[in-house]
Amino acid sequence: MRPLVFPGIVSTAMILFAAVSVNGCRDARDSRLLETPYAVTDDLGNPREYRLFLPEGSSRVPLIVYFHGVISPGFKRIPALKDYTGSPVEETDLIPFCRENGIALLVPSALYEYKFLKCVSKGWLTEKEIDGVEKIIDTVVERYLVDRSRIYLAGISAGAVFSHYLANRRPRFYSAVLSHSQAYVNPEGVVLRPAEKGPRFGVVFCYNIGDYKNLIAFCEESERIYREDGYRTILLRDLPPRGHAWSSPNNARFWMLLRSLGQKH
């Protein structure tokens, strides 16, 4: 069977944020989940939803922003995708990991639907989503005790591509990017050069045992291009589990590398 090409998804999908206002902007003393604590509206006039997982404590904390892959209930009807979930954050073990390690975790919700493999899907349509997602990130950074020198992006598949687009719009804003099973590519699958010469944000590339061959090739070529342009990078090959899914057994390793490769502001 022909391997799937996920980059075409990415150029259209993005994050949504719904808006509900809540008291107290610097109340991160207790470990908890906040559902869209502050209203965010994107440039198309739509409210955006997001979840914020806060660790215990009252000091400034690092922030990871996580983006899942393309998600569709219709994938269950496609034999090659029947076990593919898109790696929602609940399947990554990032929630308990971030709480245990004093990291704030921001999870935007994708809003805009589109057809992928003849299925109604949600991923990260860049043109529609990027404004809303940036507004969500900025709202959280401004309202909570976030260390602005330690803001990280992490995504798998279409979420990884979207992370690259975010980082390259503001290459001095983010410390590092975790690019799982995808890379910085355009909708046609052409690997792109970073917007600025490095060193800027660090990049951790990785893929799984038995991942899609075209996506492995994107990761390898993108890592080379970033490195040639002066960025601090690493490429992790053949991680568990087998197939196209988040490698949760490596969360501690990912975090160590994000910190070591990240730019110092």
State which CATH number among 3.40.190.10, 3.40.50.720, 3.40.50.1820, 3.60.21.10 fits the domain covering 30-261: 3.40.50.1820
pLDDT at 17: 25
pLDDT at 220: 98
Distance CA 13, CA 123 (A): 5
Place of tokens 């739509």: 46
Q: Give backbone dihedrals phi and psi of 153, rounded to 5 degrees, phi first.
A: -110, 140
pLDDT at 31: 64
For 32, 111, 163, 227, the CA distances from 27, given in Å and listed in that order, are 10, 28, 28, 40
Is the Cβ–Cβ distance between 189 and 5 less than 8 Å?
yes
User: How large is the C-alpha radius of gyration of the chain?
Assistant: 17
Q: Give backbone dihedrals phi and psi of 161, rounded to 5 degrees, phi first.
A: -60, -45
What is the CB neighbour count within 10 angstroms for residue 53? Answer: 21
Distance CA 263, CA 184 (A): 19
**Alpha helix (H) residue ranges in the chain:** 7-10, 94-100, 126-143, 158-169, 213-228, 251-261
Per-residue pLDDT of the chain (265 residues; tens, 9 = 90+): 334 444 434 333 332 222 222 333 344 344 689 999 999 999 999 999 999 999 988 799 999 999 999 999 998 888 888 889 999 999 999 999 999 999 999 999 999 998 888 899 899 999 999 999 999 999 999 999 999 999 999 999 999 999 999 999 999 999 999 999 999 999 999 999 999 999 999 999 999 999 999 999 999 999 999 999 999 999 999 999 999 999 999 999 999 999 999 998 6
Is the Cβ–Cβ distance between 67 and 108 less than 8 Å?
yes
Place of tokens 């954050």: 89
For 14, 88, 108, the CA distances from 9, given in Å and listed in that order, are 10, 16, 17
Least Cα distance to 200 among 169, 223, 166, 171 occurs for 171
Least Cα distance to 174 among 191, 156, 195, 157 occurs for 195
Distance CA 31, CA 64 (A): 15
Q: Would you say how long the chain is, in residues?
A: 265
Distance CA 38, CA 112 (A): 20
Distance CA 57, CA 126 (A): 35
